[in-house]
């Protein structure tokens, strides 16, 4: 098998099944492969030197774009709703209205701050956001092999794009589904566009984008990367799926959540801040072992 799957951070409920999926995907060839990944805390680091790294929302929250009063209010929302997001004892149905509440309140607070579009690049540059170690290989290799990468994020699309742009990896094979800001003709934030994507409605988001999955119908093999149980539905729009390998980063509240991750993700990466395992799998599937 792939040697990196023996790393100390890797946990699998059924290694034999992982092996079978990988073999079947390898046999089908990398021209049948597509990658679907979450962004915050999946492609970006959860922590660095013991300190939490920011999500797209946190970048704005900690920036000079908004008043200290607004920062405070966003922090209060985070402190209240984030523990609910990751609480494995509450059913998802119960969490959905609360997540809608969180995102709606946060976006309303941001819209009231008259944020300027041309400042986004500056706040991203000044932020402490970090893509996971090994991200260059991940993005560049997928691009070189013309494998489509869909980044499916409940974060903020404008911030996310700026992060991968500044990192030099916003290649032509990358497509983003996310919450995008809407600016008026003077470049001031007035609203968020389209249907809200929150942590537990990625299935609905996927089903709204049938055009994208229709274009990729010759790629029925999926590598999925996420860090939340809500990310498991990101591939629900894929047509005539043949194989899917789900890789889940378990960053926080490991003991409480480990079993639910093992039951739903094929490969679970516990407190692993790198792309080492996804990269090894990607190299295997593209014949570069």
Residues in contact with ligand TMP by CB under 6 A are 38-41, 55, 57-58, 74, 77-78, 102-103, 106, 153-155, 199
Strand pairing class (174-179; 149-156): parallel
Provide the terminal-to-terminal Cα distance of the chain, rounded to the nearest Å: 11
- Could you confirm whether 40 is annotated as catalytic? yes
* Gap between the Cα atoms of 223 and 37, Å rounded: 8
User: DSSP label at 150?
Assistant: E
CB of 199 to ligand TMP, least distance (A): 5
From candidates 22, 36, 41, 43, binder to Mg ion by CB under 5 A: 41
Q: Per this entry, what is the length of the chain?
A: 289
Compose the 131-160 pattern: x for residues touching Mg ion by CB under 5 A, - for all others. ------------------------------
* Gap between the Cα atoms of 46 and 191, Å rounded: 28
Phi and psi angles of residue 221, each rounded to the nearest 5 degrees, phi first: -110, 125
Which one of 14, 40, 112, 231 is the catalytic residue?
40
Strand pairing class (189-192; 181-183): antiparallel
Whichever of 227 and 266 has its CB closer to ligand TMP, that residue is 227
From candidates 25, 40, 107, 279, binder to Mg ion by CB under 5 A: 40
Under DSSP, is residue 56 helix (H, G, I), strand (E, B) or coil? helix
From candidates 227, 266, 272, 276, binder to Mg ion by CB under 5 A: 227
CB of 60 to Mg ion, least distance (A): 16
Which one of 38, 158, 227, 231 is the catalytic residue?
38
Whichever of 32 and 153 has its CB closer to ligand TMP, that residue is 153
Q: Are 156 and 181 in contact (CB under 8 A)?
A: yes
From candidates 21, 30, 38, 278, binder to Mg ion by CB under 5 A: 38
Phi and psi angles of residue 73, each rounded to the nearest 5 degrees, phi first: -65, -40
Strand-pair partners of 116 = 188
CB of 199 to Mg ion, least distance (A): 7
Whichever of 181 and 197 has its CB closer to Mg ion, that residue is 197
* Gap between the Cα atoms of 114 and 191, Å rounded: 10
CB of 156 to Mg ion, least distance (A): 13
Whichever of 40 and 158 has its CB closer to Mg ion, that residue is 40
When CB distances are held under 5 to 8 angstroms depending on the partner's kind, the choice from Mg ion, ligand TMP, none that residue 199 binds is ligand TMP
* Number of neighbouring beta carbons within 10 Å of residue 237: 25
Whichever of 41 and 147 has its CB closer to Mg ion, that residue is 41
CA nearest neighbour of 181 among 208, 163, 201, 159: 159
- The reply on whether position 273 binds Mg ion by CB under 5 A is no
Whole-Å CA distances, 91 to 22, 143, 230, 251, 265: 31, 38, 12, 20, 18
* Count of positions on this chain that bind Mg ion (CB under 5 A): 4
- Could you confirm whether 184 is annotated as catalytic? no
Chain contacts with Mg ion (rule: CB under 5 A): 38, 40-41, 227
Annotated active-site positions, please?
38, 40
């Amino acid at each position: 098998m792939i040697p990196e799957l023996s790393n100390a951070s890797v946990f699998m409920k059924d290694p034999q099944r992982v092996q079978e999926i990988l073999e079947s995907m390898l046999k089908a060839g990398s021209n049948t492969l597509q990658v679907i990944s979450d962004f915050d805390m999946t492609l970006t680091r959860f922590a660095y030197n013991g300190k939490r790294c920011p999500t797209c929302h946190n970048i704005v929250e900690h920036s000079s774009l908004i008043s200290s009063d607004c920062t405070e209010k966003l922090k209060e929302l985070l402190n209240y709703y984030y523990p609910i997001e990751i609480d494995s004892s509450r059913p998802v149905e119960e969490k959905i209205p609360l997540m809608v509440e969180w995102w709606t309140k946060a976006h309303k607070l941001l819209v009231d701050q008259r944020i300027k579009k041309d400042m986004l690049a500056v706040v991203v540059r000044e932020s402490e956001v970090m893509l996971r170690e090994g991200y260059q290989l991940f993005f560049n290799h997928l691009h070189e092999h013309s494998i489509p990468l869909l980044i499916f994020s409940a974060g903020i699309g404008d911030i996310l794009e700026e992060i991968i742009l500044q990192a030099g990896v916003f290649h032509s094979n990358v497509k983003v589904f996310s919450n995008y800001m809407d600016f008026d003709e003077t470049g001031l934030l007035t609203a968020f566009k389209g249907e809200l994507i929150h942590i537990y409605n990625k299935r609905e988001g996927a089903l709204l984008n049938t055009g994208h999955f229709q274009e990729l119908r010759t790629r029925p093999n999926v590598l999925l990367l996420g860090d939340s149980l809500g990310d498991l539905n990101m591939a629900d729009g894929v047509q005539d799926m043949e194989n899917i390998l789900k890789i889940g980063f378990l960053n926080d509240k490991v003991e409480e959540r480990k079993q639910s991750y093992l039951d739903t993700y094929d490969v679970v990466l516990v407190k692993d801040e790198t792309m080492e395992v996804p990269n090894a799998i990607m190299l295997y599937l593209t014949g570069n072992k």
